[in-house]
Amino acid sequence: MNKNPIKLGKLVRRTIFYLFIVTLAVSIILPVFFLVSLSFLSTRESYSFPLPLLPSLKTEYSLTHSDRGYLLSVYDKFDKEYQTVLDTAELEKMSVYMKNQIGTPYSIPKIEERIAELENGGKDTIFFSVRKNLLLNYTTFFQITRDAVPALLRSLQIAGLTILISLSIGSMAGYAFARYVFAGRDVLKFSVLFVRMFPGVAIALHMAIILANMGFYDKPIGLALVYSVGSIALTVWITASVFMGIPESLEEAAQVFGATKWQTFLRVTFPLALPGLAAAAMYTFLGAWTETVSAILLTQFNPTFSVVVYQSLLGAVGNVNLTAAGGLVLAIPSLIFTFFIRKYIQQMWGGMTI
């Protein structure tokens, strides 16, 4: 009996702990799940209510005669009945509809086969099912969006340039902040953060003018420069703390054992800072890769991939399931990059962590 209160207290604490963890996990996983699922839905599915939790793998059709030609119906799992979606005599229209709206590509000769079945079989209605092409949204996305592939490459290029610029400048400044005492050091270190206190949009217009004067408007290097302004603040702070974390005696030891200042940096400081620099590179990449607002304002004919994804939501072609597919394509490089860097950081030097 005596033990019960203790056990109960423990139980409550555990329950709260797990509730907390689960809430956290769900709030992260659910939107991702939603996005992934949405990217596999057909257009018809994605505009139906309620929205299906999972994409269907095939669609049940029924075909019957009508005054105008043929009546095409689709089985609705939620209402548990066939719903007429098309009333037409044009087979091409039927084929296009089946592909674009339902996600089940079906050629005209095949439709003709089904119609022959209807005419000759003596039945009122015939039923057939067609497998869904799950990747259709992805291929469609690249087909209908204006230069998605070049935009993807451009985004990679911009992210790479941003990493290069902000890491080289940022880490030099970070090293200085970490190792040297000079007048106004702390003020300077804080003022580096000022650039992050403005929303990007607020200065984007001025940036556009400056970039145009430099001849960098609508060019990857232009966006990379704009992104670097923001991310240098981040890399300065990250690298400064990375360099501060490297004991000075490790550098001194290298000098005593025969290294010049430059050799010391290359063989001791730099390799030791690499995991931290990689982390800084990761943040910079993510920032540059997903940034959209400035990119919309600062590009015209050469958008980044995030802009392309955003635009796919607008106008005549705007379908949420296509945008979801584009969004996932946008996420994949970030995932790969993050995964490899994490793995790299973890595996260094016999599992040492700094």
Partner 1 sequence: MATLTMQNVTKIFGRDVIAVKDFNLEVKEKEFLVLLGPSGCGKTTAMRMVAGLEEVTTGEIFIDDREVTELPPRKRNVSMIFQNYAVWPHMTVYDNIAFALKLKKLHKDEIDRRVKETAGMAKIEMLLERYPSQLSGGQQQRVAVARAIAVNPDIFLMDEPLSNLDAKLRVSMRTELKAIHDKAGSTTVFVTHDQSEAMSMADRIVIMKDGEVIQVGSPDDVYHRSGSIFVADFIGTPPTNFMDVKIQKESNGTHLVNTHLNLLLEPEMAKHLNGYDKNHIVLGIRPENIVLVGESDAALSASCLVSEPQGSHQVVAIQLDDNIVKVVAPPNPIIAPGTDVHLIFKQETLRFFDPDTTLAIND
Closer Cβ to partner 1, 278 or 297, answer by number: 278
Stretch of 43-51, 92-100, 242-250, 306-314 lying at the interface with partner 1 (CB under 8 A) = 242-250
CA–CA gap between residue 128 and residue 125 (Å, rounded): 10
Stretch of 12-20, 35-43, 252-260, 311-319 lying at the interface with partner 1 (CB under 8 A) = 252-260
CB atoms within 10 A of CB 88: 15
Closer Cβ to partner 1, 232 or 254, answer by number: 254
* Among 253, 266, 335, 336, interactor with partner 1 by CB under 8 A: 253
At residue 215, what are phi and psi to the nearest 5 degrees?
A: 80, 20
Stretch of 50-58, 168-176, 212-220, 260-268 lying at the interface with partner 1 (CB under 8 A) = 260-268
293 binds partner 1 (CB under 8 A): no
Closer Cβ to partner 1, 2 or 249, answer by number: 249
CB atoms within 10 A of CB 333: 17
Contacts of 146 (CB under 8 A, 6+ apart): 308, 311
**Residues pairing with 128 in the sheet:** 61
- Whether 204 contacts 294, CB under 8 Å: yes
Q: Is the dihedral of CA 350, 246, 263, 166 positive or negative?
A: positive
Closer Cβ to partner 1, 272 or 330, answer by number: 272
Min dist CB 245 to partner 1, Å, is 11
354 binds partner 1 (CB under 8 A): yes
Task: Report CA-CA distances (Å) from 14 to 23, 29, 85, 175, 251.
Answer: 14, 22, 52, 44, 47
Half-sphere exposure of 16 (CA within 13 A, CB side): 5
* Among 260, 300, 346, 347, interactor with partner 1 by CB under 8 A: 260
267 binds partner 1 (CB under 8 A): yes
* Among 256, 314, 316, 332, interactor with partner 1 by CB under 8 A: 256
At residue 126, what are phi and psi to the nearest 5 degrees?
A: -120, 150
- Whether 63 contacts 95, CB under 8 Å: no
247 binds partner 1 (CB under 8 A): yes
* Among 5, 109, 122, 350, interactor with partner 1 by CB under 8 A: 350
277 binds partner 1 (CB under 8 A): no
Min dist CB 141 to partner 1, Å, is 44
CB atoms within 10 A of CB 169: 15
263 binds partner 1 (CB under 8 A): yes
CA–CA gap between residue 283 and residue 266 (Å, rounded): 23
255 binds partner 1 (CB under 8 A): yes
Q: Token match 């599915």: residue?
A: 45
Closer Cβ to partner 1, 260 or 300, answer by number: 260
* Among 180, 194, 257, 262, interactor with partner 1 by CB under 8 A: 257
At residue 26, what are phi and psi to the nearest 5 degrees?
A: -65, -40
346 binds partner 1 (CB under 8 A): no
* Among 5, 109, 258, 315, interactor with partner 1 by CB under 8 A: 258
Contacts of 333 (CB under 8 A, 6+ apart): 156, 289
The footprint of partner 1 (CB under 8 A) covers: 247, 249-250, 252-260, 263, 267-268, 271-272, 348-352, 354
